[in-house]
Structures are given as C-alpha cells and as structure tokens.
Structure 1
C-alpha cells in the first residue's frame, strides 16, 4: 500500500542513481545540496535522491529532474579537506515527487512512497530463478563481478530487492537505470531485467568474438613482422644489404601518392605483397615489378589548367597558320564552351586533307593555346590490335598499348593527343586495330578504357584527341562515326605566298644557319617557286625547294663568292634549274574531243584531260588510261546517252556501227576512278562526233544518267582549288552542288565563274563553241 511522506529535503544527483537496499558513498559539494543534507541530519536523517536529466546543469529546476527517485537514510557524514561532504547512504524505498517547494537554502518535496510487494507466487519464483541464472552466466562472461557477489545475490529471497541488487551491477546508462527504478510492479521489473540481461549477454559474446579476431590479427601481424626481420637478416648475410625492403617501401609510398582509384590501388597493393614475397631471381618478380612501375608512373590525377583565353588562342593559331579558318573556328568554339562549363568531355576531331597542309602542326598549336601537354603517336602501318590495347602480362616482353604509353609520356590526364595517319591502319590475322580504336574514340566509353596489360580501367575522357588522315574512304564507318571531321582542302596561291614569307623562309633560314640579311627571296621568286617548281595542295615540297635555295646560298656565302644572296626569277632558274611544271594545265587553244575534268585525289584537287578519238571501224568502244570500274561505267553511260542524241547531232543512224570510239585519260600509269567524270566524257564525245571545239577555259565535274540528268558530286572545294591552279576561269558544276560554293575561299570565288547545271544539254550548250 502506497503512503505519503512530507517535507523531505531534496538532494539532486549528477550521473548517479541509487536503488533501494543499496549502500553507497556520495560526495556532496553544491551549497543547496549541503544545506538539504544538514537539514536532514538535524531531523530524521532521511533525504530524497533524484537524478538530473542533464549533467551540465548546476542548479536544476523541477523539470530538469526525474520525478521518481529513492528515499535514503544517511548513515554517516564526513567532511573532506577540500570542503566537500562525503556521506554514506542506504536506500530505503522508491518514491515519487507529488509536491515540490523551493525554500531559501534548499528544496523540500512531498513524496508518494512505494514499498515492494514481498509476496511470491509460482510465476514470480520462476522469473527469479531465470533472472539469477542469466545473472550467473553474465557474471562469468564479464569477469567484472566477484564470486562473493554472485553468491550473495543467489541467497536473496525477496524479488524486489533481487532486481535492485542485480540492476546495480549492470553497466547501464543513467536513463536505462532510471527506467528500471521507475517500474513499481515487481513482476514487470523481473521481466524487464531478464530481457536486459539477455541483451547484455549477446553484447558480451560479440565483444569476445571481436576481441578474438583482433588478437588473431595482431598475432598474425607480429608473426609477419618477425619473419620479415628474419628475411632481412638472411639477405644481409647474403650480401643484399637492403634486400627488397627499401624498394617495396618506395613502391608502396608511390602507390599511396599516385591518386589511382581505390579498386586499382587495391590490386596494386596486392601485387606489391606478392612481389615482396617472391625471390629477386624469380622471372615473375620482374614481371610484377614492371607492372607496378607502369601503374605508379601513369598520370591518374595530375592535370594542367586550361588557359581559357579566346584572344590568346586565336593569336597563336593565326601566328602559326595562315588560312584554315574552319579549323580555327572549331577550336575557338571548343574553348568558348569550355569556358562556360567547368567540365566537358574531350571532343574527337579528325583533320582530313592532303599531305603538307599543316594538320600535325595545327594540333601542336592547339596544345600550346590551351597550355596542355602534347603527345603524338603515328598509326601508319599499325595492324596489330595489341599495339592499341597492349599485351596480356602472361606474354614475354608484354607492355601496354600505344595509348597508355602516350599517356605516360604526356604525364597528365588531359593532354592534346594526336593520332597521326589514322587512315593508314590495316588489319591481318592478329586483329583489327581500328576496332580497338572504337573504345578510345568514343566519349561515352573512354572514361573506362581497358588496356590488356593494365587490366584496370583508365580514364581518357579528359583527353583532347585530334586525328589526322589523308583519305576518309579507308577509315571504317564505325570509327569515322565517332569523330568530328574537319576537312582541310589545301591552300590557295595567295595563302601559299603568305605561308612562305611568314613561316617557311624564316624556318629554313634558321635551320640552315643563315641570317635574314644573308638570303633575300624576292616576291616574284616566291610566286615562281609556287607555280613552276611545285604542284601540290600543301606546302611540303615548297618547303623542300626553299631548303634547297638555303643550302645553295650557304655554299655561295661559305665559299666567299658573296656575302649576300638575292633570289629573283632569273637567279631562281640558275639555282634550281629549269621549270619543273607548266603553270596551269588549261589548253592554249580550243580543242576538238578534249575536255577538262576536275578530280579529287589524296593530294587535293587536280585537273583531268579526257580525250576522244573516232576512227572508221565496227562500233567498238576502247577505254585506256588505267580506269577503274566506276569510270568505265561512266564512259558506257555517256556513250549510250550520246547515241540517244543522234537526231539532234544530225548524224546517220548507222554512225556508231561504222566507227570505233577510243576514250583515253592521259598519264596512263596513274590509276583513276570516281563517279564525277560523266559530263566530261559526254562533252568530249559530242565534241569529237560533231566536230565542235570545246572552250579551253572551262572545267567540269558531275555524274550523268542515261536520261541526261547531272548528279551531285563531292569535293567541290578541292576541285575548285585545282581548277584555279590550272588557270581555268569557268567551272560547270551540278545544280545540287550550288550550296557548296560558300565553302570555297572568297579569293578563289572572285576569280572563278560557276555554272550550275541540271542536264547534260546545258553542259554542252555552255562548253561547246557555238553552243549545242
């Protein structure tokens, strides 16, 4: 039966809780607590202990104290030298605050006292036995409770007192202890403690398991340390003073500092452990050593900061290259986007054009404008897939592919990477390297590029890949699809003059040890060099001729004949010999049966003479000039179309049965093929049959159908440059190619007249003297 007790002094406790039946020493130092204690000692030695919810509060209020606490009897009080009171208290019973009153020096509370029911039934007896059994197991597992304590607990016959004594020996938090103190019902308290003891036993078992694992690990580490020390001693006795330990420590440090991904680092450390255990003379030891060396020397995080200055980039590109406006524009677009976005996948650019137009040097300029490292690999003649992806480490002499080798050479993860001559790759029984390049040049895949040697993914997504090629037709479709193609057609004569004066002459003077004042090449000589000593889309041969002039000038100066050499048109012939080419290939007069076509070759645009001769015979068509299948079919189509014009040409119906026709394309040793010679052959045939001359200043390009329709062609820009070099003034082009005229340099457009046509009759009307 609960009863009331009034005017009991309150002693707040910090981090401490007292159960009934417990005897405990408590140190008291706070002024209000000391006052409450003194009041209790004057009266009946009883005081109420309530625990604070927050230890940091110095003067707790009613809300900051638990309402349920313990009424205790103060058995003894001792004053310590530091002024603190040490008291010995004995718990009497649980109590609940029902009234709270703040006095001047201390706090007084009215309490509702709860006495435990000492009656026992079968259920309580069973719960007590279970609790004692759990407590014994726990005490033996924890090794913190003495045998005497266990025996004293077993002897307790009162259920309430049993729960309090056991609870006082458990390592519980204050809130958990308070929860047990607040359970007035003995049966519920027994249930609660059984559950708590079961949980504590589980925690103890886990602690033991963890401690056992830690101990085993420590023993294993100590054993390994001991064995390593023995190995060092043995190696020292054998003359290997440091053994592998110094090298392994250095490699371990480099692995940690490399910045490689965690998955790769894990593999590297595993291989390092294997390397450490292998004998130095082992063949596998060398293989692992090379592998680790590659891993730690590859750039994983090192990068250069892009210089995103559009004006600076434009200045460098214009300084190093004349012309090439589209390429420059594309590079500046990339820089502009890069400036707006912090991260952008590196584009894959493919510069396509004839030899000598500056594709490789352009890539170097791009790297300089970005302040990035530059690396170049040549793919010409590569026909083994392992050249790109590397060899498996199981092979003798295995090493990574050229891509990973290039990244190591670059030293950063974001270089400008030049893939030179990508159209010159081939394949054989060892695999197709172009298929291996698909992963390298795919922005969606190359962030996890897999090299057979490394066997770990490597990120290529920050690399700016630039490929170069002379001919797109030899690049496989899937590979070409991954690249952004930028066509470089070649240079106009005006651009070649600027390149010669601004770049080639200063470069060759420097390479041949000449000063600017020692060799002067006049403008007229530069023009003659371009017109009569070279015929190319680029400037490579032009550079060779300038180098030849520099060497001859050096000989003259060293011989003492002159201190200064000035080259004009006359001196040019003396130094380089007679003209090697005739400027322009346009006919000097109008010819019958000779038409000038325009061709696109791997060295740029060029002109192509098509000659037709008609002789008495039996209707035979003869084709010469090493023509390909497409050009042979174009000739057959052109002849069939011309035969359909018999009435308009006013020729006899049996003309074609009584005459042989011979179509010849000069320079018979050079293979020729392509689908754009149809209208040229038609014009030459009609001219030869009708005996009408063809205007010498006209060039033409376009395919023809049996009905006389003119179909579009490719490479108009390159063909226009070739026509301009050849001295032609008018070009007949298919109507559908009219949109491509804007791609032609303005200086060339001003000097050429373009005649778009949609039918062969229009072509004949423009090309033949007197019309058709």
Structure 2
C-alpha cells in the first residue's frame, strides 16, 4: 500500500482540510471543480481533496496547493441555485499528490497513498506493546470525553461511537476529525504520518483545550456574579430611594450629603476643602458604579479623618518632664539632661523648628521608651512607625490612587491615627531602611524631616499638601554607619551607651521585676529575688548592652514561681544565688578573666560589640620559616591591615631593640585570636597586635593584668578609638587592673562615671614606645 498510485480527479479546497474518518460537506462553484466531481461520480465516487495555500487563487496549479491531501468518497451531491453544488464526502486515506496529469477541463493527478511510516516512540524507538496501546486508547478516550463534557458543540451521541473503537489509529483519526481546529492545524495533522506523534499532538491539544474551557467557565461565572451583584444593589438602592420618597422622610441623608456636612465643618485649609468637595461631586455621579464609588468613598473618608488644622495643647512643665523621665528610666543622666534642654528651648521659643532628636545605641537600652516618656511628658499623642526593612518609597510618600488597594503613606497614616497635627512620631530603626528599584526611601525621609520642606509634604494618595512642621519627630538607630550623611545632618544625635552591671541591677529592681510580677499575676510578697541573684543573672545569664534579655530571664523566674505556687501550694518563693540554677538552668556566659601569669606573645585587647564590650586575647607564635604572616581567627580586612602595619612598624625599629635583620626572613609569624568561629573586625586592635608580635619576637613577657585598645600607624602613633565606656566595663569585669587608651580619648575617659573607672588605672598613651614600656616586663 505504501507505493500504490492512483489517478484521481482533484479538487482544491479553499480554507478547508479533509482528514481520514472525517465526514463533511462543502460548496463547489468553480467549473473545474464541478467537472472533477462529475468525473469522480462516473469512476467510482473516489476523489482527491487538498487545500490551497491562498484562498484568493482562482485557477490553482500544482505549486498553489498542498501536496498532502485526503482520498475521499463522495456520498451525496445537492444542486443549489447559481450553479453551486453542495457535496457530502467521507475522508478515507491520506495521500500525496505526485503530479498533475492535466489541468483542463478539470484537475487530475497521480496520487500515492501515505500509510503510517512508524509506530514507535520518538525518544526510545521501542515498539508499543498491546498493553501499552490499550492504555493509550483508554487514556485518549477519557481525555476526549472530558473535553466533550466541556464543549457543547460536540454531539453527545458521539460518545457511544468512541466507546466501540479499540484500534489506536482509528481512535486518533476519528477524534482528530471531530475536534474543532483551525485550517493550518488540520493540515499539520494531515501531513504527520507518525501515529505516535499524532497521538501526542492530539492529546496535548485536547488537554490544552480543556484548560482553556475551564478558565472560560471561571471567568463567565465571575462576570455573572459581578453583574448579578451590581444589578441587585442598583435595584435595592432605587427601591430604598422610592420608599423614602413615599414616606416623605427628609431627615435621612445620603452618604454624599453626610460627607458634605462633615466637609463644611472640617478644620482645614481651603485647598483641602475644595478637593474634598470635588470628590464628593464625583461620588454622587458614581453611585450606580459600586467599584468606582468604593474607591472614592475610601478617599473621602481618609481626607475627612485627617487632622488638618486640629492641634493639641503642649504641656511645657520641665519639672513634670524631669519627674516622668526619672520614673521611667534609671541612669542615662546625660540623655535626660539633653532631652530636658530640648524641652526648655522648645518652651521658651515656642518654635517648632527644633532639631530632630536621634537616639543611637545598642538594642535594649531604652531608646524607644525614652521617646514614649517624652510624649508622656509633653502630653502629646504618641505614634511609633517601625522603618525596619522598609524599601519602597511609596511606604513613606503613599500610593497613587490609580493603583488597586492604594493607601496613604506611613507618615500620613500615623498623623491620621494620632488625631492631631502636632503628635510625637517615633521613626524607629531608621538605620535599617533599605533601597531597591522601587525608589530611594532615604530621600523620601529627607523631605519628611527637613523643616524647610515638610510644611508642604506631598503624600501621593492625599494629593494635597500636608503640614508636618508641627510634628515632633524622634528617631532611633543602632548604628549611624548605614544612615546617609544628608539625612544625618538633619538630626541631632544623642548616644545611649551600654548599661553597667550596677545600672542593670537598679533597673531590674525598680522597673523590670514590678512589671513582670504584674504581668504574671504575682504579688510582691510572693516572689523576691536577691541582689546577688540579679547580679549573677546580669553576668552569667545575659550578654547584652541593654536589659531586654535580663527581663526575659526574670519572666522565666516568674513563670516557674507561678507554677510552684499553684502546684506545690507555696506561699512565697525566694530566689537566691544558690537556687538560681533551678529556675534558669546552667549558666550561659562566663567572662574570660585575666591570665594568672605573665606570658610571651599573649596580650589582652578590648573590643566593642553590638551587645556591649568584650575582651580579646591575642596570641602570637614565632617559628622557623620563610617570612610568612599567618592570620587566623576570622579576622576582617581592617584587623588584617592592622596586623601588617604592626609588623612593618616593628621591622622599622628592629635595630633599636637589637632584633636581627634576618629574623623576619627566616621566621614565620602566626597571629591568632581564639573563638575562630566568631568574625572579628574593627580599627582598635592595632597596638594590641603590635605588642603581642613584639613580645613574641623579643621573647619578653607581657603583663597579665594589663589590657589595651587603640589603632597604630606605620610610624608608631596611637590613634583614638570609640566605644570606650563598653571596653573599660569589659576590662573591669575581666579583673584587669591597668588599661592603656589613646591619649586623644582622654576627654572620653573624664566623662565616664566613677562607677566604671573605680579600681582601674587608665593610662593615656600616644606612641608605641610608651605602650611597650608599660606592657612588657623588664
């Protein structure tokens, strides 16, 4: 059958393709086609049908028609007016047109029957087993039935015919012929002689059509629900209007009338009132469009709720403010003093153009609570805005009304929630703001915090100027490193340093314990915590600059106490240093105390961390080698540079200290800071590493009761450092007696309370010569 050739009349179809197993009819009007059909009826009713490339072609040649077509049997011919015949045919076999034998008076050509050339899977080449073929037949049948259920255009009785078919080829051809497709798609299936490929294409087509029909059903259902809802609301609204007219009830105002009354009574600039009135008119005209009216309603309600010209009276009693600050916070004398100065100037000048206070310090040191106390002292509404992780400029400036779900920015929303135009707004964690492709958030904050710009702050949602000049802004941050300089220039920085252990003890007794007792339903007589127990909690169960973790530990004790009172019927619980482990478990932290004896190449340094101060023991070993420098302990780039600078300085003064010139070429120097898993970096370990290297090179011991901090230059100068209070506190906790600090930090030492410096010998140094004389044993 592969090479069987037949001479048959040819009809070129316009925009139509006939497939095997397809029963279809078409109209014929061209003279050549009519004669070809008449000739076919005289020869056995067989005819070759193929499609034209272009529908407009009137006299097609062999180049104008597809070579692959279908041999069909003519079932019926119906004569219509105007020399048109309607022909009913049944497709039987795909075939290829070899060539046209003649074109006049009709088309006749030699065609070759095209059988399936391969019935294997394309990727494996493996022949299909009877079991696989049966599975494919059933799978295709199930898919087609699901498609039939979704598509009403296919006759339901066709399902019975499909159930009778067991041959895969016939199943593919029958379904292929009955699934509505475009003319090019039918032609593509006709030209495909690989049964497995036709099967894959047909299955994919059916599944795709099922998904399209599912989506179409969902969309139609949603549209129907929406139309029904809108229609129902419209009818109810009209009925309500008619009922009110019949009752003559004139007291009932429409929403638009209520909005207009509120607008007339609103304390706001004329520009704002005009904008609201304009939106109310739009609202009246959109009553029959719930989608639009809902957006306008939300905007009008937001505008009416904004405190445009509504202010609260500011309390200016400095004595009252001092009392509130002292009640809420222990210590922080300099911070309180600066806040009271700020309030005094504000009261005298009656000027709201005051600097923006920026409270900077480690977590848990009371930055947020100071701002809350300030609002309490001024008797102002207090609103906290957390800026941590905000990276979209629209969070500050608001979203434009054209967006779905648009809303005012955080600043405008905070003023609205406060209910007055002069609240205290706390911008919390301003250092954790980030930027991305959605805009520069810091630049938006510049407009908010700049006194020259915030009088006419433009929120994208409100679309009218919002006066923020009366708002008292306070910001908090853990560090100033991530805040851009232009924004930092608009703020006055107040640093809040770490608490000493004595301060933590007072805070726990005066604030934390009463707060947690109340929170856990305990009375003062039911739980008491000794002073030594609190001291131990601060030293061995927490490691922080503030008191947040300490409060959690006290809460742990309160919970266990509450359980003991209920379960064991205890009347009171006393927590001491001895039974503390019963309530909090084993100790979590221990301070690295000073070494017992002086050693070579080991120096104690001081470091600042986000949770306070700490000590670092720097160790240096010298061994025979080729002059390499090994740095271990997860040192950052700055500390690595400090180590190399220290070695360069020591090499430059080696002759003064009788160090052999070849020493650094014939020995390796290994610098290590224990706790290698903890990253370490910062510009304050220069003199510490240089002293340790010098000690290891010369073999001279370093005092064990001494610690130091400071950066070094190539010429041996000692540069100033930061975080001195935390570092001295860490030295004292470690039992250090003598601390070397840069001479330029002398003013910082004088500001530190005697509680920290008591018992410490603090020696200012300006050059490495002084450091080596004081640190090395002679």
Flag the 1:504–1:450 CA change in 2: closer, same or farther, 3 A: same
Flag the 1:323–1:360 CA change in 2: closer, same or farther, 3 A: same
| Equivalent residue in structure 1 for 2:334, among 295, 303, 326 | 326
- For 2:419 and 2:599, how far apart are their aligned partners in 1? 63
| Larger of the two Rg values belongs to structure | 1
Check whether the contact 2:605–2:617 (CA below 8 A) recurs between aligned residues.
yes
The structural deviation recorded for 1:765 is 1.0
- For 1:683 and 1:288, how far apart are their aligned partners in 2? 72
| Equivalent residue in structure 2 for 1:688, among 689, 696, 708 | 696
- For 2:733 and 2:258, how far apart are their aligned partners in 1? 64
| Equivalent residue in structure 1 for 2:676, among 668, 684, 704 | 668
Match of 2:241 in 1: 236
**Aligned partner of residue 580 in structure 2, secondary structure:** helix
- For 1:562 and 1:689, how far apart are their aligned partners in 2? 64
Check whether the contact 1:594–1:684 (CA below 8 A) recurs between aligned residues.
yes
**Aligned partner of residue 545 in structure 1, secondary structure:** helix
- For 2:524 and 2:305, how far apart are their aligned partners in 1? 45
The structural deviation recorded for 1:723 is 2.7
The aligned length equals: 540
Match of 2:378 in 1: 370
Flag the 1:588–1:406 CA change in 2: closer, same or farther, 3 A: farther
Output aligned runs, 1:214-293, within 5 Å.
Answer: 236-237=241-242, 246-293=254-301
- For 1:614 and 1:407, how far apart are their aligned partners in 2? 65
- For 1:346 and 1:412, how far apart are their aligned partners in 2? 19
Match of 2:456 in 1: 448
| Equivalent residue in structure 2 for 1:335, among 335, 343, 351 | 343
- Kindly indicate whether residue 538 of structure 2 is the aligned counterpart of residue 530 of structure 1: yes
- For 1:335 and 1:756, how far apart are their aligned partners in 2? 37
Flag the 1:577–1:588 CA change in 2: closer, same or farther, 3 A: farther
Superposed CA offset, 1:340-359 (max 9, x none):
12333243111111111111
- Kindly indicate whether residue 484 of structure 2 is the aligned counterpart of residue 476 of structure 1: yes
Superposed CA offset, 1:400-439 (max 9, x none):
1111111111111111111111111111111121121111
Superposed CA offset, 1:608-652 (max 9, x none):
222212122111001112222211111110011111222233232
The structural deviation recorded for 1:563 is 1.6
- For 1:604 and 1:676, how far apart are their aligned partners in 2? 15
TM-score (norm 1): 0.67
Match of 2:191 in 1: none
Superposed CA offset, 1:16-65 (max 9, x none):
xxxxxxxxxxxxxxxxxxxxxxxxxxxxxxxxxxxxxxxxxxxxxxxxxx
- For 1:490 and 1:538, how far apart are their aligned partners in 2? 6
Check whether the contact 2:346–2:354 (CA below 8 A) recurs between aligned residues.
no
**Aligned partner of residue 254 in structure 2, secondary structure:** helix
Flag the 1:232–1:384 CA change in 2: closer, same or farther, 3 A: closer
- For 1:370 and 1:414, how far apart are their aligned partners in 2? 11
Output aligned runs, 1:455-604, within 5 Å.
Answer: 455-583=463-591, 585-604=593-612
Check whether the contact 1:236–1:242 (CA below 8 A) recurs between aligned residues.
no
| Equivalent residue in structure 2 for 1:607, among 599, 608, 615 | 615
Check whether the contact 1:592–1:693 (CA below 8 A) recurs between aligned residues.
yes
Match of 1:765 in 2: 773
Flag the 1:254–1:753 CA change in 2: closer, same or farther, 3 A: farther
The structural deviation recorded for 1:589 is 3.1
Match of 2:208 in 1: none
Match of 1:723 in 2: 731
**Aligned partner of residue 587 in structure 1, secondary structure:** coil
Flag the 1:584–1:304 CA change in 2: closer, same or farther, 3 A: farther
| Equivalent residue in structure 1 for 2:430, among 417, 422, 425 | 422
Flag the 1:634–1:232 CA change in 2: closer, same or farther, 3 A: closer
Match of 1:750 in 2: 758
The structural deviation recorded for 1:310 is 1.1
| Equivalent residue in structure 2 for 1:379, among 371, 376, 387 | 387
Flag the 1:293–1:244 CA change in 2: closer, same or farther, 3 A: farther
Superposed CA offset, 1:109-131 (max 9, x none):
xxxxxxxxxxxxxxxxxxxxxxx
- For 2:765 and 2:724, how far apart are their aligned partners in 1? 14
Match of 2:445 in 1: 437
- For 1:363 and 1:249, how far apart are their aligned partners in 2? 42
Superposed CA offset, 1:322-367 (max 9, x none):
1111221121112211221233324311111111111111111111
- For 1:658 and 1:647, how far apart are their aligned partners in 2? 16
Check whether the contact 1:440–1:449 (CA below 8 A) recurs between aligned residues.
yes
Match of 1:299 in 2: 307
- For 1:686 and 1:244, how far apart are their aligned partners in 2? 92
Check whether the contact 1:446–1:461 (CA below 8 A) recurs between aligned residues.
yes
Flag the 1:763–1:243 CA change in 2: closer, same or farther, 3 A: farther
Check whether the contact 1:493–1:725 (CA below 8 A) recurs between aligned residues.
no
More displaced 10-residue stretch of structure 1: 605-614 or 703-712: 605-614
Match of 1:104 in 2: none
**Aligned partner of residue 613 in structure 2, secondary structure:** strand
TM-score (norm 2): 0.67
- For 1:612 and 1:501, how far apart are their aligned partners in 2? 44
- For 1:668 and 1:379, how far apart are their aligned partners in 2? 34
- For 2:238 and 2:289, how far apart are their aligned partners in 1? 18
The structural deviation recorded for 1:369 is 0.8
Match of 1:161 in 2: none
Check whether the contact 2:592–2:615 (CA below 8 A) recurs between aligned residues.
no
- For 2:449 and 2:299, how far apart are their aligned partners in 1? 25
- For 1:476 and 1:724, how far apart are their aligned partners in 2? 36
Match of 2:161 in 1: none
Unaligned runs of 5+ in 2: 1-235
- For 1:538 and 1:232, how far apart are their aligned partners in 2? 61
Superposed CA offset, 1:725-756 (max 9, x none):
33333221111111222331231133322211
Check whether the contact 1:508–1:546 (CA below 8 A) recurs between aligned residues.
yes
Match of 2:23 in 1: none
The structural deviation recorded for 1:390 is 0.7
The structural deviation recorded for 1:683 is 0.8
Flag the 1:407–1:244 CA change in 2: closer, same or farther, 3 A: farther
Superposed CA offset, 1:262-320 (max 9, x none):
11211111111111122342422222211111111011122221221111111110111
- For 2:599 and 2:283, how far apart are their aligned partners in 1? 81
- For 2:730 and 2:752, how far apart are their aligned partners in 1? 12
Superposed CA offset, 1:198-217 (max 9, x none):
xxxxxxxxxxxxxxxxxxxx
- For 1:366 and 1:584, how far apart are their aligned partners in 2? 39
